[in-house]
């Protein structure tokens, strides 16, 4: 008896309700003039049980990305042999962004998206956008789903304290769908953590930049760093993430493993994770994982405020 041969991932259904595969979606956007709306009209993907919506958004992020593009503010390719080879709908930008959500006590998280044109440029066409926001718990459960439209010169601000019950620690995925060809990049979302008397802004990170290994620098004083690392598991499967600290000369200081569930997240407090350190000064923090992870470094300052940034974008 011959062994069963499993289907390649690209030919497995993305939408089981209507049997739409990843290759079907890719083929659709190779045709000139294709849009998200025409995909839904032709295939009915994500219109029944909607379990495929997150995977569809992640796939659309891949289709929007053009490797090596020096700027998001570039006109869309006009022919199928440009950019990613996906015809007129392709854009030189990943349009799905991810970030952490923390709502607890006096601290809340706000997301702002503004669809503005370029300064001193009256010739480049700016287009309206459709947006979809999904908020997940740290345990990988979809907690909130919202959506809307963003006209030219319009902005929207979303306070997560209005959407979730505190205390809440999780993450969000915001997906942006342009309604026509034009400028991309004006809609880059901004994430703001607000506390009593302070605000800590940072632009969100493309979910396509989630990767298996990244490092950053932090500072240890008195055996403590005051640092937290936000880990967003961009995989359907549970993950194994190792956080390691080392001195400038490469001496290992500490390491620990965290296991976020599929589509889950963790906000790791390094001082709680490692305890007092036997190293002072500049340290390297390295994050390695079995599956891709989006990472943010958050520093809690002496006055109680936060400073934050995502790990380097380059894969």
Query: What pLDDT shows up at residue 79?
Result: 31
Query: What pLDDT shows up at residue 223?
Result: 96
The secondary structure of 136-160 as a DSSP string is: EETTS-EEEEEEEEE-TTEEEEEEG
Which of the residues in the chain have pLDDT under 70? 1-11, 61-62, 64-94, 121, 181-186, 314-315
Q: Which helix (H) or strand (E) holds 62?
A: helix 53-64
Query: How far apart (Å, rounded) are the C-alpha atoms in residues 142 and 137?
Result: 7
| Residues 225 and 255 both lie in one domain | yes
| Residues 122 and 158 both lie in one domain | yes
| Residues 176 and 233 both lie in one domain | no
The 8 Å CB, 24+ separation contacts for 271-277 are: 271/224, 271/225, 271/226, 271/227, 273/243, 274/245, 276/223, 276/224, 277/220, 277/223, 277/224, 277/225, 277/245, 277/253
Quote the tokens at residue 179.
Answer: 């309604």
* pLDDT tens for each residue of 23-47: 999 888 888 777 777 888 899 898 8
Q: Which of 177, 207, 237 is the last residue of a domain?
A: 207
| Residues 282 and 235 both lie in one domain | yes
Residue 124 counted as domain residue: yes
Domain with 216 in it: what CATH number? 2.60.290.11
| Residues 148 and 66 both lie in one domain | no
| Residues 16 and 55 both lie in one domain | yes
Q: Which of 190, 207, 224 is the last residue of a domain?
A: 207
| Residues 181 and 229 both lie in one domain | no
Query: What pLDDT shows up at residue 4?
Result: 42
Query: How far apart (Å, rounded) are the C-alpha atoms in residues 127 and 89?
Result: 13
| Residues 194 and 221 both lie in one domain | no
Query: How far apart (Å, rounded) are the C-alpha atoms in residues 88 and 90?
Result: 6
Domain with 164 in it: what CATH number? 2.60.290
* Count of structural domains within the chain: 3
| Residues 231 and 306 both lie in one domain | yes
Burial classification of residue 19, based on how many CB atoms lie within 10 Å of its CB (0-12 exposed, 13-18 middle, 19 or more buried): exposed
| Residues 37 and 109 both lie in one domain | no
| Residues 106 and 190 both lie in one domain | yes
Residue 230 counted as domain residue: yes
Residue 227 counted as domain residue: yes
Residue 2 counted as domain residue: no
Residue 109 counted as domain residue: yes
Model pTM score? 0.76
Question: Under a CB-based contact definition with an 8 Å cutoff, are residues 157 and 145 in contact?
Answer: no
Query: How far apart (Å, rounded) are the C-alpha atoms in residues 74 and 65?
Result: 12
Query: What pLDDT shows up at residue 182?
Result: 67
Query: How far apart (Å, rounded) are the C-alpha atoms in residues 214 and 229?
Result: 12
| Residues 71 and 150 both lie in one domain | no
Residue 3 counted as domain residue: no
Backbone angles phi, psi at 308, to 5 degrees: -150, 155
Residue 264's domain comprises 210-310
Query: How far apart (Å, rounded) are the C-alpha atoms in residues 147 and 149?
Result: 7
Q: Which of 89, 120, 139 is the last residue of a domain?
A: 89
């Amino acid at each position: 008896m011959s062994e069963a041969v499993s289907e390649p991932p690209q030919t497995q259904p993305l939408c089981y309700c209507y049997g739409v595969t990843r290759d079907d979606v890719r083929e659709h956007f190779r045709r000139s003039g294709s849009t998200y709306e025409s995909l839904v009209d032709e295939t009915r993907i994500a219109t029944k049980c909607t379990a495929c919506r997150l995977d569809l958004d992640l796939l659309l992020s891949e289709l929007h990305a053009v490797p090596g593009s020096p700027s998001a503010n570039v006109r869309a390719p006009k022919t199928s042999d440009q950019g990613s080879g996906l015809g007129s709908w392709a854009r030189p930008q990943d349009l799905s962004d991810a970030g952490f959500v923390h709502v607890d006590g006096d601290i809340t998280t706000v997301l702002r998206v503004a669809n503005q044109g370029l300064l001193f440029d009256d010739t480049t066409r700016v287009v309206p956008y459709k947006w979809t926001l999904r908020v997940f718990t740290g345990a990988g459960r979809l907690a909130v789903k919202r959506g809307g439209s963003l006209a030219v010169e319009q902005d929207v601000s979303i306070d997560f304290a209005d959407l979730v019950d505190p205390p809440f620690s999780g993450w969000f995925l915001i997906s942006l769908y342009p309604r026509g060809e034009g400028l991309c990049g004006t809609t880059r979302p901004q994430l703001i953590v607000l506390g009593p008397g302070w605000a800590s802004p940072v632009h969100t990170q493309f979910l396509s930049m989630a990767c298996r290994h990244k490092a950053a620098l932090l500072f240890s004083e008195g055996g403590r760093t005051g640092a937290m690392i936000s880990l967003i598991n961009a995989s359907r499967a549970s993950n194994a993430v190792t956080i390691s600290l080392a001195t400038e000369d490469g001496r290992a200081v500490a390491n620990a493993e965290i296991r976020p569930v599929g589509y889950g997240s963790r906000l790791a407090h390094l001082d709680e994770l490692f305890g007092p350190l036997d190293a002072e000064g500049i340290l390297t923090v390295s994050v390695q994982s079995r599956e891709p992870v989006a990472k943010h470094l958050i520093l809690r300052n002496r006055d109680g405020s936060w400073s934050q940034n995502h790990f380097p974008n380059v894969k």
